[in-house]
Amino acid sequence: MKKDTWTFTNNRNNESFDFDILDGSRGPAVVDTASFYKQSGMFLHDPGFNSTSGCASDITYIDGNKGELRHRGYDIEELTSKYKYLDICYLLLNKRLPNKKEAFDFDMELRHRSFIHTGITELFASFRDNAHPMATLSASISALSTFYFEHLDIESPAEMRLMESRIIAKIPTLAACAFRHSQGVPLIFPDIERSFTENFLYMMRAFPDGKMPLVDGKQKFIKDVEVRALDTIFSLHADHEQNASTTAVRTVGSTGAHPYAAISAGVSALWGKAHGGANEAVIHQLEMIGDISNIDTYIAKAKDKQDPFRLMGFGHRVYKSYDPRAKILKRLKDELRDELGIDGRLIKIADKLEEVALNDEYFIKRNLYPNVDFYSGLILIALKIKTNMFTPIFVIGRTVGWITQLAEQLEDKSGRIVRPRQLYVGK
């Protein structure tokens, strides 16, 4: 047998097949089974692709057992403590952090690209005003391709770079429009005097004349702590390796579809409560629990195998220790409590749930630690953002990851259309 190969033996007929073992720069090695069907006449069966590597990537690395998350080699703790969201965007897109001038130029470019065509704003008028913002956001992103289709050659690095900046800049505007339409209030256009994150809060909150609401007779300005909190949430959502929505983006992208169509597919995938919609589900569950006195009842339900109830915001498909993003948001939640004077009913319920889960053998044995969704919803509530905007905010943060993953896929000239096989069990 050759060195660095993995041998599969078919015990039905004693046939053996060798496949190369490929080593990455971090994490587990992989067995290259691309020729498995050709050699053996069989398929590999892996529902959910839990043990399958679908691509080679140098963007994001996760070690679920250690609770480690890195972008381009940088630990997420370092990135969120030293850099802003746009710096992380630049890192993902350019494989290095920006210097001061590059950071300024990138910021200015996004500010000026944040405006959307008036035809897009007219599109929102065709949606019902009680539609979920994720539905209108997905549709409006797909519609972007009708305005920019003729100006994009995905084979051109320069045009791809322009498209990347355009989509990152416009998503917050589209998300704010989706929210304001759902509230039945006029849309607000970007203010290029404001930073990326502050501008999003401005477009969400401002009156139709562009002024901010008054509190005690004084204009309510957006607080620095609010911008810092939301910027951190964007940063923690920037990319997360080959999750369901990223896989959707890569799958659609593999067909040669327009990049905006691929991003729209990612938005639709993210909407599910098992994925990006989990933070909204966490808040609904905390409201259902209603009071600290009811926690023991719901903890018992979560432990009961016969009960379909599942505690939202605990555990993760990849992390088998504490989600590193959750650690950062937990600290941020405590800071917001002090700086904004927050001590609401839902936070009290969440604090008690967290205390029980971190000290209960049932949860510890099953690695059911609080995850990023458990805390992000609480912080967004503290920022007075409505629950139907939680997942669109996830979209804003994740867009740079999706577009970086798609660009990486397009650069791989050996790539093929994504086409899994199946185990047929019908007649």
**What positions carry a catalytic annotation?**
316, 373
Q: Among 265, 121, 266, 268, which residue's Cα sits nearest to residue 181?
A: 121
d(CA 285, CA 294): 12
Q: Is there a contact between 219 and 236 (Cβ–Cβ < 8 Å)?
A: no
Q: For 360-389, where are the alpha helices, taking DSSP H only?
A: 361-365, 372-382
Q: Is 146 left (phi over 0), alpha (psi -120 to 50) or beta?
A: alpha
From CA 239, how far away is CA 26, in angstroms rounded?
Answer: 17
Give me the residues paired with residue 75 across strands.
70
- Cα 148 to its chain centre, rounded Å, is 25
DSSP state string for 235-301: HHTS--SS-HHHHHHHHHHTTT--HHHHHHHHHHHHTSTTTTTHHHHHHHHHHHH-SGGGHHHHHHH
**Using CA atoms, how far apart are residues 354 and 360, in angstroms rounded to an integer?**
10
In contact, 230 and 392? CB cutoff 8 Å:
no
